[in-house]
């Protein structure tokens, strides 16, 4: 049997490496690269917070659009083809952004690049469900979800090496995306990646929205809203007068990426603390991280503590939601995960310009405080039942 011919031909470790690579490039660079490079982009074009928020919205618009279609596309053309489409979007979008001579072209590049993130994650939910033993799926999915952190951790030193040349940084990000996509396509199965009897579940509004999925989807929306202020404005806020230097603020973002790898332990945390306990703890940690950036004196020490808290918390929340969606939407994991991603994207889409407008009127301190309040609200929506290791252990009601 040739490599990639069957979902059984790739080991969990290879699947994790493929997932981490493309998710790191699409989320950590294509989607969140703007927050890393915002100060230099602002200086080049003379932009305000509101415009930076609108630029961030570009990647969220396309992320939302592809998240809506990713589940259906995965079922129709197979996971490998969907990942390939995401890789093309990441590379093309970041090349456009890196060569943009005016904000309009930068917006277009971010629009194309942001589409990559929506394509990348849902296919892996199907692949893991089809090819990984039930008792290992939680760890594999959690490890893949940590790809964002790896991407950010790599993007920061690239940006530091480029200095003020944000265009060069975007182009190097595109090279990383091309390499990651090539590697993933050499690993992923050529088949459709589904397991079971091959029955295609007919998707409908009632399939997505039901009593069991409501808290999960609402939590995804709130996490997106709250987290958008950190991803978009943290680096800029840390560089306010009398605060950190550009180099120090980027080191802080690198710390977010490194800490995000802690999301790999999300599956183990659910086993030890339970889904409810892990979700609540992560929400409190993220709220604390937002308050530290927004209200505490901007020292390197407080910023690094905030980075560690945010990196671990955000990715633990995502890890729980991935496991949760795989159980709630067990008959079609990719479509269910795409639904959660859509809600997260809606929050990110709306949050970036809203917090940008709040910052223009009341300051970034107020914006980060509001984000902390929003993320604490997900405590009321935490999963009340335990999530099993096997995401396909029971059908969707």
CATH number at residue 320: 1.20.1250.20
Domain span at residue 230 reads: 10-192+204-381
Q: Provide the token pair at 385.
A: 């039942």
How far is it between the farthest Cα atoms of the chain? 62
On whether residue 387 sits in a domain, the answer given is: no
At 76-114, the pLDDT tens digits run 888 899 999 999 999 999 999 999 999 999 999 999 999
Asked whether residue 396 is assigned to any structural domain, the reply reads no
Tens-digit pLDDT profile for residues 323-332: 788 777 776 7
First to last CA, the chain: 37
Query: Quick check: is 2 in a domain?
Result: no
Residue 321 included in any domain: yes
Q: Which residues contact 76 (CB under 8 A, 6 or more apart)?
A: none
Q: Is 78 a domain residue?
A: yes
Q: How far apart are CA 208 and CA 339, in angstroms?
A: 7
Is 115 within a domain? yes
pTM of the model: 0.74
Does pLDDT of 14 surpass 80?
yes
Query: Rounded to 5 degrees, what angle do the CA atoms 20, 4, 173 make?
Result: 30
Query: How many Å apart are CA 34 and CA 112, to the nearest integer?
Result: 13
The verdict on residue 386 lying in a domain is no
DSSP states of 20-89: HHHHIIIIIIIITHHHHHHHHHHHHHT--HHHHHHHHHHHHHHHHHHHHHHHHHHHHH-HHHHHHHHHHH
The rounded percent of the chain whose pLDDT value lies above 70 is 86
Q: What is the pLDDT of residue 6?
A: 43
390 occurs within a structural domain: no
pLDDT, tens only, 384-395: 766 654 344 333
Helix (H) or strand (E) holding 315: helix 300-328
């Amino acid at each position: 049997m040739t490599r990639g011919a069957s979902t059984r031909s790739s080991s969990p470790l290879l699947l994790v490496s493929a997932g981490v690579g493309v998710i790191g490039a699409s989320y950590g660079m294509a989607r969140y690269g703007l927050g890393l490079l915002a100060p230099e982009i602002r200086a080049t074009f003379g932009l305000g917070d509101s415009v930076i928020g609108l630029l961030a919205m570009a990647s969220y618009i396309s992320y939302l659009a592809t998240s809506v279609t990713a589940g259906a596309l995965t079922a129709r053309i197979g996971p490998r083809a969907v990942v390939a489409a995401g890789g093309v979007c990441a590379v093309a979008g970041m090349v456009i952004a890196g060569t943009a001579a005016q904000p309009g072209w930068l917006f277009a590049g971010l629009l194309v690049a942001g589409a990559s993130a929506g394509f990348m994650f849902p296919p892996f939910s199907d692949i893991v469900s089809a090819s990984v033993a039930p008792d290992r799926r939680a760890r594999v999915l959690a490890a893949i979800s940590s790809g964002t952190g790896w991407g950010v951790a790599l993007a920061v030193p690239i940006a530091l090496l480029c200095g003020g040349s944000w265009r060069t940084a975007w182009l190097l990000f595109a090279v990383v995306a091309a390499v990651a996509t090539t590697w993933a396509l050499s690993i992923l199965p050529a088949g459709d990646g589904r397991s079971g009897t091959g029955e295609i579940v007919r998707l409908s509004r009632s399939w997505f929205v039901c009593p069991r999925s409501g808290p999960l989807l609402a939590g995804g929306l709130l996490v997106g809203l709250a987290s958008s202020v950190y991803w978009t404005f943290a680096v800029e806020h840390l560089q306010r007068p009398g605060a950190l230097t550009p180099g120090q603020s980027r080191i802080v973002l690198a710390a977010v990426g490194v800490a995000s790898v802690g999301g790999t332990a999300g599956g183990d945390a659910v086993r030890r603390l339970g889904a409810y306990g892990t979700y609540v703890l992560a929400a409190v940690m993220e709220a604390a991280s937002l308050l530290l950036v927004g209200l505490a004196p901007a020292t390197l020490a407080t910023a690094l503590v905030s980075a560690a808290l945010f990196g671990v918390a955000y990715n633990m929340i995502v890890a729980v939601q991935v496991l949760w969606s795989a159980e709630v939407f067990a008959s079609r994991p990719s479509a269910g995960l795409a639904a959660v991603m859509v809600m997260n994207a809606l929050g990110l889409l709306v949050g970036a310009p809203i917090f940008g407008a709040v910052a223009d009127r009341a300051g970034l301190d107020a914006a980060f405080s509001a984000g902390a309040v929003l993320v604490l609200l997900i405590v009321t929506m935490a999963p009340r039942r335990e999530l099993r290791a096997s995401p396909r252990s029971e059908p969707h009601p």
